Amino acid sequence: MQLSNNIYTPENKVFQYFLSILGQMVHADLARQIEYLKVENKILRSRLPKNIRTTYQEKLKLIRYGLKLGGKIKPLISIVSYSTFRR
C-alpha cells in the first residue's frame, strides 16, 4: 500500500482548519491573559513609590526579555524610560 504524498486531501483540510481554529482560540486566550496582567501591574505600580531601584541582576533580566520584543516593548515599559532601556 502506497501512502499519498498529497497533503491537501479533504481529511487534511479539515485537520488544518481545526488547527487554525485551535490556534485562534489559544491566541485570544493569551491576549486576554496579557490584558489582565497589564491591569494588575498598573494597580500594583500605583501602590509603589515613585522611584524603583532595580538590582543589576533585575536589569539584566528585564533587558533579556525586553530585547525579544523589539520596539513593541515601548508601551510596556514603566520602570524606566524607553531611551534608558535602549542604552
**Could you read off the pLDDT tens digit of each residue along the chain, which spans 87 residues?**
455 555 556 667 777 877 888 788 778 888 888 899 889 988 988 898 878 888 889 888 888 888 998 888 888 887 877 888 888
Side-chain-facing half-sphere of 20: CA atoms under 13 Å: 6
What does the alpha-carbon distance between residue 14 and residue 41 come to, in Å, rounded to a whole number? 41
Q: Taking a C-beta distance cutoff of 8 angstroms, is the pair 62, 79 a contact?
A: yes
44 and 13, same domain (yes or no): yes
Torsion of CA 23, 25, 31, 34, to 10 degrees: -100
Total domains in the fold of the chain: 2
The pTM for the full model equals 0.56
Cell numbers describing residue 58:
533585575
Domain hosting residue 34, numbered range:
8-48
Report if residue 3 sits inside a domain.
Answer: no
The candidate with the shortest Cα–Cα distance to 69, out of 24, 34, 19, 28, is 34
